[in-house]
Homo-oligomer: A and B are copies of this chain.
Amino acid sequence: MSLKMSKDEVSVLFDELFPQIKGEFTVEELGENSITMRMNIGEKHLRPGGTVSGPSMFALADVSVYAMILAMIGPKALSVTTNCSLDFMRKPVAHADLIAKGQLLKLGRVLAVGDVLLYSEGMDKPVARATMTYSIPPKA
């Protein structure tokens, strides 16, 4: 199964679908069942001490898996998150961007599952890991 959308096509579609988060995320690499996504950290993502908030890390994991599914199945059927598990393992570096490395572990007829490791840019060990499950609606 090959990619149905390029990195640029995914980015353009994202901005259309989710205008509220325009500019927050950059697809850096996109492969079959894999992605590298940058979260451009700004003031609104931070908590006291300059650390990235939990909801921001959730958002990065969520869009990373969503983008992988979109790239594989195309924009016809918009999938929805049904389940997520997240482990917060280390404190993110203050004011550094977050980098997500994701892989799509399953792309079934009705469910897709992706794993993501989140890193503070320039840090070796992951700050968090996440698994997201998406439900893929039947095609019209």
Contacts and interface: CB of A to CB of B under 8 A. Distances in A.
Contacts of A113: 87, 89, 129
Nearest to A136: B110
Interface residues of A, number: 41
A17 B48 contact: yes
A80 B91 CA distance: 10
A113 to B, nearest CB: 5
Number of copies: 4
Contacts of A59: 53-55
Nearest to A59: B55
Contacts of A131: 85, 87, 129, 131
A106 B135 contact: no
A53 B17 CA distance: 13
Contacts of A89: 82, 105-106, 108, 113
A111 B90 CA distance: 11
A27 interface: no
Given A58-B55, A59-B54, A113-B89, A105 B84 contact: no
A17 B46 CA distance: 12
